[in-house]
């Protein structure tokens, strides 16, 4: 262990908090869609969504999680493809969609401005987005437990490569749906006209609108949304249970029976599922969108953890006080930014929000496809008065949420370095072999005695079995 048991426990606690908050936000997304599509009570949508996923994750373990993920990604892609293909036809074809999107500045490959207050730009995606995704893939138990389930390092690399291809397909499909949506509603913004109440309702509104004469397709989109949510939630619940068993409860369960460990792991999965439902209910009271909320949580909590991994793997001089100081500084900075941006939200002008119009929306009592609108009408929700921006830290609080992760990681590494050198850097010879990146050797042969058991049970159950001492310390993400 690079920084001792204390840092391992702190890293585990950070992971549990981040995953619990992130999973709650993820559950909220399909609940909003179900509420809008069916009119079902919002609380009923939240509870039913969370309980369904908690049920099959608790009973099925890793095998249920993996196979449902495979099925759900197919449903997700199918829902996206059907939506943007039909929407493109209604908008007048691909050329028309691209023309409207380009004229509305929705397609812009030349935005290289360095203003960190612009919410979405080339740099916010490449720098900020990269650091957030890196924290998800490099310092996250939900991903690491997938890597170690592979027989060899080569298999793990191929699995990660395939995952990236699928991720690119999902993100590209979602972006394409957004461009088609703008082409359809370029003259009648549903949010400005009062037809929806939150930005997260754009996509379900689009599907219900363009498929109103095609029964069954709105249900396909609902299945698409639930597929994305359930695959994420099931993995997160399973990972939280595994981390709790391995890092927190292992000292008390060394001599316990495997059956008892399995029962405890299922109970933990159920309890974490209930916690995620509660978090989703609390998140529904915030004014954050699903995307902003999830990236903010990962940036605030996972960013400092990624910084600790960087210190431990790439900087031999880093020591224990430096690692703890880095986590404290990175977390404090990101939390300060997140809270400040919520209390003093930036104006649309500062964020670079693009213009939308509601000048050609139909009258309230008119019912027809909004893609065929021609009669102008006044906007139903006029813009409010300009906010008073005399706060001294307004520019700081206006930084794009995509940079939260990069700032927290950078602050964590920098503070860790400074404190490490002030308190006495670690000597290279005192570091155990295999803890630094350049000391790692490729593992091409990693036989598993019972692959079926690993895929059927939660990973932590296998790790805690005293009859199978399989390099326990390397099976947890908390290697710091």
How confident is the model over 282-315, as pLDDT tens digits? 877 766 677 788 888 888 988 999 999 999 999 9
pLDDT value at residue 88: 94
Q: Tens of pLDDT along 156-189?
A: 899 899 888 888 898 899 899 999 999 999 888 8
The overall longest dimension of the chain from CA atoms, in Å, is 78
Residues 25 and 276 sit within 8 Å (Cβ to Cβ): no
pLDDT value at residue 449: 44
Confidence class for position 404, pLDDT limits 50, 70, 90: very high
Confidence class for position 215, pLDDT limits 50, 70, 90: confident
- Using a 10 angstrom Cβ sphere, with 0-12 exposed, 13-18 middle and 19 or more buried, the burial of residue 291 is middle
Least trusted range by pLDDT, from 48-62, 293-307, 366-380: 366-380
pLDDT value at residue 464: 39
Q: Can you give the residue ranges of every domain in the chain?
A: 19-104+140-285+449-474
Distance CA 418, CA 414 (A): 6
Q: What is the mean pLDDT of the chain?
A: 78
pTM of the complete model? 0.76
């Amino acid at each position: 262990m690079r920084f001792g048991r204390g840092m391992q426990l702190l890293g585990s606690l950070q992971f549990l908090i981040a995953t619990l908050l992130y999973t709650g936000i993820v559950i909220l997304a399909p609940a909003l869609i179900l509420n809008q599509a069916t009119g079902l009570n919002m609380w009923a949508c939240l509870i039913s969504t969370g309980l369904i996923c908690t049920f099959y994750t608790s009973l099925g373990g890793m095998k249920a999680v993996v196979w449902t993920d495979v099925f759900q990604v197919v449903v997700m892609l199918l829902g996206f493809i059907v939506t943007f293909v039909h929407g493109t036809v209604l908008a007048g074809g691909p050329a028309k969609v691209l023309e409207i999107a380009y004229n509305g500045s929705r397609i812009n490959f030349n935005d290289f401005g360095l203003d960190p207050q612009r919410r979405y730009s080339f740099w916010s995606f490449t720098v900020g987005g990269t650091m957030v995704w890196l924290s998800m893939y490099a310092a996250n138990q939900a991903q690491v437990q997938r890597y170690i389930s592979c027989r060899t390092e080569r298999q793990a690399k191929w699995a990660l490569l395939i995952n990236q291809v699928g991720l690119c397909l999902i993100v590209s499909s979602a972006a394409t749906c957004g461009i088609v949506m703008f082409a359809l509603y370029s003259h009648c913004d549903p949010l400005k006209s009062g037809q929806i109440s939150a930005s997260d309702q754009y996509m379900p509104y689009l599907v219900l609108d363009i498929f109103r004469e095609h029964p069954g397709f709105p249900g396909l989109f609902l299945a698409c949304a639930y597929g994305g949510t359930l695959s994420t939630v099931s993995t997160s619940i399973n990972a939280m249970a595994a981390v709790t068993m391995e890092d927190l409860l292992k000292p008390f369960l060394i001599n316990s029976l495997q059956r008892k460990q399995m029962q405890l792991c299922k109970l933990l999965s159920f309890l974490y599922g209930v916690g995620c439902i509660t978090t989703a209910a609390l998140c529904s009271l915030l004014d954050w969108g699903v995307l902003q909320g999830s990236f903010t949580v990962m940036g605030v909590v996972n960013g400092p953890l990624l910084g600790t991994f960087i210190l431990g793997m790439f900087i031999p001089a880093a020591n224990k006080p430096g690692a703890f100081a880095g986590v404290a500084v990175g977390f404090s900075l990101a939390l300060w930014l997140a809270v400040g941006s919520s209390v003093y939200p930036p104006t649309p002008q500062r964020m670079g929000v693009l213009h939308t119009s509601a000048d050609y929306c139909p009258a309230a009592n008119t019912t027809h496809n909004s893609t065929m609108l021609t009669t102008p009408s006044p906007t139903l929700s006029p813009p409010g008065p300009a906010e008073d921006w005399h706060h001294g830290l307004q520019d700081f609080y206006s930084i794009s949420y995509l940079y939260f992760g990069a700032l927290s990681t950078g602050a964590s590494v920098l503070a860790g370095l400074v404190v490490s050198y002030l308190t006495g850097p670690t000597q290279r010879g005192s570091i155990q072999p295999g803890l630094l990146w350049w000391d790692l050797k490729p593992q091409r042969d990693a036989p598993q005695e019972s692959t079926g058991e690993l895929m059927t049970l939660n990973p932590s159950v296998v790790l805690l079995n005293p009859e199978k001492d399989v390099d326990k310390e390397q099976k947890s993400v908390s290697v710091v």
